[in-house]
Amino acid sequence: MSLLEVRALSAGYGPVEVLHGIDLDVDHGEMVVILGANGAGKTTTMRAVSGMIGRSGSVTFDGVDITRTNAEKLVGMGIAHVPQGRGTFPDLTVMDNLRVGAYARSGGIAADIDRWFAVFPRLAERRDQRAGSLSGGEQQMLAIARALMSHPKLLLCDEPSLGLAPLITQEVFEVLKKLNADEGLSVLLVEQNANLALKVAQRVYLLETGTVVASGSAAQIASDDAIRKAYLGA
Amino acid sequence: MLRIDEGSTRHWLLRLLGFAVITFIVVWVPTQMSSSRIGQFTDAFILMIAAMSLNLVLGFTGQISIGHSAFFGIGGYTAAILIKDHGWSPGYTFYAAAVVAFVVGCVVALPALRIRGIYLALVTLAVAVLFPTLVRWKKLAWLTDGSKGMDSVRYEDVPVWPILGELKGREGRAVFMFWLGLIVVVATYLVCRGIVKSRFGRALVAIRDNETAAAVMGVNLTTTKVLVFGVSAALCALGGVLSTLKSGVITPDGQYVTLLGSIVFLLVMIVGGAGTLWGPIIGGLVYVWLDNTTRDIGTSDSGILGALFGWADQSPATLILGLVLVVIMFAAPYGLVGLAKRLGRKVVVIVPRPVGSSTPR
Ligand SMILES: Nc1ncnc2c1ncn2[C@@H]1O[C@H](COP(=O)(O)OP(=O)(O)O)[C@@H](O)[C@H]1O
Ligand SMILES: [Mg+2]
């Protein structure tokens, strides 16, 4: 059984339905990417999975039906969400941002902070700085480290490359890849930069106006001519 | 410019100096000043408490409330009713008022916090408007004495505290209220500080900075907001008790019980520095000082100020403070405390501890 099983997921905002019945799986230790144009519903999918918005259909996580579980509970169960636009807390220090990341649990927090400081040395240097004073890349690193503080089994990462210089984007993706390979962390990634995403992810879903129009292994998708034309701009 | 390492001996000396100055002022006021001057400080204490309580909700959590005058009034009325009708000793009414206001605060917050921004402002506004009306309501007159309010709500005899010596008459009462007020201010400050520096406090700032991100970190928005609203209401009620014990009266249109009170609390908090622990304290002092120095302006028809404010039959303090507020918003968006910090940094810099020394070696 997969770690995350999404079946016939519908979700939206108030009267507007954005997702019209999506099926999606993330296996243990897998890195899956959702590709799609602006407004396709990628962010909405992430929000629906992490329980931030109402949803119908069924969502199963680690064998447990979580369709009616709210966001705060899901953190404790092992779903961490790095929202689009990072969502770091600008007035809290780097340290305090990480502490809030561990809000759903207790014990060993200092050790965890040290652990992620080792992975993100630039955050360590800025530990007492307000998060608002960090660069975009540093904030993205902080957002990821903060999410990892909750000991997730599944990391939802929404467009980490948004607004970052290519070199920094690369760095962020290296880290994600390493976490996936070395720690066995399952990742559900949303990305506009398809070429980059296809290099790190194992499987791909293509989203178009709230519907999954294609899915397959990264290699399959990358070699499908029609898809290449439509989505990869080549 | 002076550079001082955080936690160094000099840093501690600097803190000690600050503490000594405050202690000196605090002892000097009630022993050397006239009782009316002492009373003005107590007025400042009352405002500090209310503004500190509002600061928890608005400054730290980012939830606007224009309803705090109602919690202030609830405190005052709880004290008045318990003392007059049930023969309570005034000191104990602080606890009762805090409990009552906590419960009311939570109940108000439950529906109010499902909404945000301008709508939350409107709901709390309704609470502020509703409270005096409710107090005046005929069917509640058995409890609140309706529009005429309640009087002689005070210590019959000021309790004897050995450390203060013997306190007699009007002067003695003023001195006693000063110390009582100071205790409540310090207690309120410590509660706020404890909250802000705790895990719960980090959650508050997280909610203020980014509500949705806070939720996906596992912060329960409703519980957290309701709790902080309740605690804030309880603290604000302490200010109400103090105010009632000081003046001995409370009426539905008394000071800070009406909507105007909420506005004053807002002014005090913002002028001092929203989201800072010391902001409401500085704001309270500045407001009362302005209120008293401007009170006589316009009573004599001479001079520029007379020409400017002579038409007003009330103290233009609020108007002047409003103007000061506008100026401060431009000059010091983080209030007087923010400004002081910025200017202070040009004189003394506290250098944070270097990386890797967060735990003592
Ligand atoms: N908070 C919101 N309220 C109402 N509609 C929204 C909201 N967020 C997104 N939408 C709408 O949902 C659709 C999908 O948006 P989104 O999931 O953000 O797309 P993507 O992340 O793929 O760019 C868009 O049409 C967008 O206008
Ligand atoms: Mg998006």
pLDDT digit string (tens) for A16-38? 999 999 999 999 999 999 999 88
Tell me the per-residue pLDDT of A62-106, one tens digit each, with 9 for 90 and over. 999 999 998 989 999 999 999 999 899 999 999 999 999 999 888
Domain chopping of chain A, boundaries? 4-87+152-231
Report chain B residues whose CB lies below 8 A from the CB of A103: 199, 202-203, 217-219
CATH code assigned at B165:
1.10.3470
Same domain, B53 and B191: yes
Tell me the per-residue pLDDT of B75-96, one tens digit each, with 9 for 90 and over. 999 999 999 999 899 999 999 9
Identity of the amino acid at A20: H
The CA distance from A232 to B5, in Å, is 54
The domain containing residue B63 runs over which residues? 33-351
For residue B165, pLDDT over 80 is answered with no
Same domain, B98 and B21: no
Q: β-strands A16-26, A211-217: how paired?
A: unpaired
Q: How far is CA A81 from CA A46, A84, B212, in A?
A: 8, 9, 10
B361 domain residue, yes or no: no
Residue B155 zone, left/alpha/beta (φ > 0; ψ -120 to 50; rest): beta
Identity of the amino acid at B127: V
B248 domain residue, yes or no: yes
Closest approach atom of ligand 1 to CA A210:
14
Contact A52 B217 (CB under 8 A): no
Q: Rounded to the nearest 10 degrees, what angle do helices B117-136 and B68-86 cross at?
A: 30
The predicted model scores a pTM of 0.85
B334 domain residue, yes or no: yes
Same domain, B238 and B99: yes
B357 domain residue, yes or no: no
Same domain, B209 and B294: yes
Using CB atoms and an 8 Å cut-off, which of residues 72-91 of chain B contact chain A? none
For residue B337, pLDDT over 50 is answered with yes
Identity of the amino acid at A30: E
Question: The tokens of B135 are what?
Answer: 């107090």
B356 domain residue, yes or no: no
- Cβ atoms of B281 and B336 within 8 Å: the answer is no
Closest approach atom of ligand 1 to CA A47:
17
Same domain, B209 and B259: yes
By C-alpha distance, the chain B residue nearest A123 is B355
Q: β-strands A4-13, B348-351: how paired?
A: unpaired
Q: What is the interface pTM, i.e. ipTM, of the complex?
A: 0.81
Q: Ligand 2: distance of its center to the CA of B4 in Å? A: 46
Paired residues of A208 in beta bridges: A211
Closest CA–CA distance from residue B220 to any residue of chain A (Å): 6
Same domain, B10 and B67: no
Tell me the per-residue pLDDT of B228-261, one tens digit each, with 9 for 90 and over. 999 999 999 999 999 999 999 999 998 999 999 9
Same domain, B21 and B56: no
Same domain, B10 and B135: no
Same domain, B20 and B154: no
Q: Ligand 1: distance of its center to the CA of B229 in Å? A: 32
Could you identify the residue written with the tokens 């499902």? B114
Which contacts (CB < 8 Å, 24+ apart) does range B188-196 have?
Answer: B188/B48, B188/B49, B188/B52, B188/B53, B188/B235, B188/B238, B189/B52, B189/B277, B189/B281, B191/B231, B191/B235, B192/B52, B192/B55, B192/B56, B192/B235, B192/B277, B193/B277, B195/B56, B195/B228, B195/B231, B196/B56, B196/B60, B196/B277
B358 domain residue, yes or no: no
B359 domain residue, yes or no: no
- Counted domains in chain B: 2
Widest CA span of chain B, in angstroms? 68
By C-alpha distance, the chain A residue nearest B61 is A91
Same domain, B246 and B343: yes
- The DSSP code for B117 is H
Closest CA–CA distance from residue B251 to any residue of chain A (Å): 41
Same domain, B264 and B322: yes
B86 domain residue, yes or no: yes
Class of domain A4-87+152-231 as given by CATH:
alpha beta
Q: Ligand 2: distance of its center to the CA of A24 in Å? A: 17
